[in-house]
Structure 1
Amino acid sequence: MKASSPRCTRASPSTCTPTGSTCGLRTRRSSGRRSQQPWGSRVRLRPARHAAAELGPTFQQILRDQDYWRQRGLPVVQSGVRHDGSCIEVGTPDPRRAEREFSQRYPGAPMCFSVQADTGNPWQERR
């Protein structure tokens, strides 16, 4: 009677025989589904124009200055650091005026401006 070699199981991969098979894993022909998965895609990394450490303090100052801008008639409706590190994005009803005034208050800070309507504070109760 011939002794059988131990079978490979997921619970005990150490019992696998060195036959070239992978324990517990089956190789299948590519069905094209791998390219749809995130790990099947190529990712290009590009250096950011500005470091988060450079943009962060100015962005935090803009958040603290929201009452200042609202009192001056220039509300900051939306703000944030762009994902590519190119600038601090500021949404306001008057981007041309904002560009002039923000460059004076925050000199040297890279900023991008867009038109955003001021609808008030959405978290505040309306009367």
Structure 2
Amino acid sequence: MNHLKQITQAKIDVRFYSRALIKIVFMVTDVFPENDTEGLSPLMRKKALGISSFLTHGTVKTDLDEQKQDFLTVMGELRDLLKLATIAQHLKYCSPSHLNDVRAGISNVIDRLDKLVILIGGFEK
């Protein structure tokens, strides 16, 4: 497979897994208590949607520096989502298996994003 096709496939893959992460987050937050005083459910959902949005916009940009900036933003958002999921499990809003589902979803996005970043030349100038 030539390099351009590899990049295109990597972009498709990372977008696919970011949408899968949205589904996971929505399923997990559905079991949160109705009296979610911390507001974790909407925060986690917003983070998951934002991650997918940044990836979608980043993968269609032609400027590599802009793409890389969006991808760096995504990495920070993934870290924040993991923090929120860990807090939710600590507060007993969800089970450890739910937290593991979110972690696996985040890991899948990171893995695909790493492959894409390597294909476009990494973060170095």
- The structure whose residues are more often helix, as a share, is 2
Report which of the two structures shows the higher radius of gyration computed on alpha carbons.
1
TM over 0.5: no
- The structure whose residues are more often strand, as a share, is 1
The TM-score with structure 1 as length reference comes to 0.31
More relative contact order in 1 or in 2 (CA 8 Å, sep 6+)? Answer: 2
